[in-house]
Amino acid sequence: MTASHAFATRYGAWAIVAGASEGVGRELARRVASNGVGCILLARRKGPLEELEGLIREESGVQCVSAAVDLAGPDALDRILAVVGDKEVGLYVSNAGADPFASAFLDREVGDWLGLVQRNVLTTVRCCHHFGRLMRQRRRGGLLLVGSGAAIGGAERMATYAGTKAFELRFAESLWAELRHFEVDVLCLGLATTDTPELRRLLAQTGQPVPRRMASPARIADIALARLPRGPVYGWGPLAGMRAAWVRERVKLFTSLSSNVLGRGTHVLGR
């Protein structure tokens, strides 16, 4: 069995890439498609998605659809499901989540921050719940959450962003503990400084120089898909020290401790 065939067998016929218009999301969609899995591309801007859709068809020859969806909208999941229709989604990639403000918390209206929470937390929870439940029933699939080094520590002008990324990290770890017995892979991919158009726009907006060394979105995409079956975390920069094997043992330990309190069975520790 080739690597591409094994990937398609593990994750099925269709993948959703939320936040696919540029940067890491764009490269992840291309890599997923190169493995023979059709892509449902989501982002706010239709133009870049249509360009990517054409590129994927040319490169990989797989089916591909795209839709402009605001992932910060309260109706994001409903709009996504309308696009999905009866397609069987075996891989959900959550990539939309950058902080476009780089501002002190009190210097912006609270609605700006609530939109960030809606996109990074509520939409992610809703989508993982919907598609994860179907994956659990089928006993195959994957959830890939693109996170950030901000998950492990707060900083000035990062209050809401760091908070949402910390949630995402612990959420992924816990889902990994729950779903690994059903052959559903979960990975939180922690990024360091990455050369994306969004970062370059933010640096220009704030008058900051472009860092000399940044991670390549293409390289990140390759590693992310290779590491997906070996969750729950993988990271660069501040998250590089969080070895997946060590995190797995910590999650198992916390599961054991919590089951003593909650009266749950120990099946989560299992194999």
pLDDT score for 238: 59
pLDDT score for 177: 94
Q: What is the C-alpha to C-alpha distance for residues 267 and 271, in angstroms, rounded to an integer?
A: 9
pLDDT tens, position by position, 115-138: 999 999 999 999 999 999 999 999
Q: What is the C-alpha to C-alpha distance for residues 192 and 200, in angstroms, rounded to an integer?
A: 14
Q: What is the enclosing helix (H) or strand (E) of 138? A: helix 123-138
Q: What is the C-alpha to C-alpha distance for residues 239 and 192, in angstroms, rounded to an integer?
A: 8
Residue 254 has pLDDT above 60, yes or no: yes
What is the pLDDT confidence band of residue 202, given thresholds at 50, 70 and 90? low
Sign of CA dihedral 186, 190, 196, 200: positive
pLDDT score for 5: 84
Tell me if 60 sits within 8 A of 33, measured CB to CB: yes
Tokens 């659809």 belong to which residue? 65
Q: What is the enclosing helix (H) or strand (E) of 246? A: helix 244-262
For residue 145, report the phi and psi dihedrals to the nearest 5 degrees: -105, 120
For the chain, the C-alpha Rg in angstroms (whole number) is 18
- Written as six digits, the tokens of 59 are 């490169």
Which CATH number fits the domain 3-262, given the four candidates 3.40.50.720, 3.40.50.300, 3.40.50.2300, 3.30.465.10?
3.40.50.720
What is the pLDDT confidence band of residue 172, given thresholds at 50, 70 and 90? very high
Least confident of 100-114, 192-206, 212-226: 192-206
In Å, what is the CA distance from 107 to each residue of 96, 98, 99, 112?
Answer: 23, 18, 14, 10
Mean pLDDT taken over the chain: 88
pLDDT score for 266: 41
Domain residue limits, the chain: 3-262
pLDDT tens, position by position, 23-67: 999 999 999 999 999 999 999 999 999 999 999 999 999 999 999
Q: Look at strands 14-18 and 38-43 and give their pairing.
A: parallel
Tell me if 11 sits within 8 A of 41, measured CB to CB: no
Q: What is the C-alpha to C-alpha distance for residues 233 and 244, in angstroms, rounded to an integer?
A: 6
Peptide bond before 232: cis, by omega within 30 degrees of 0? yes
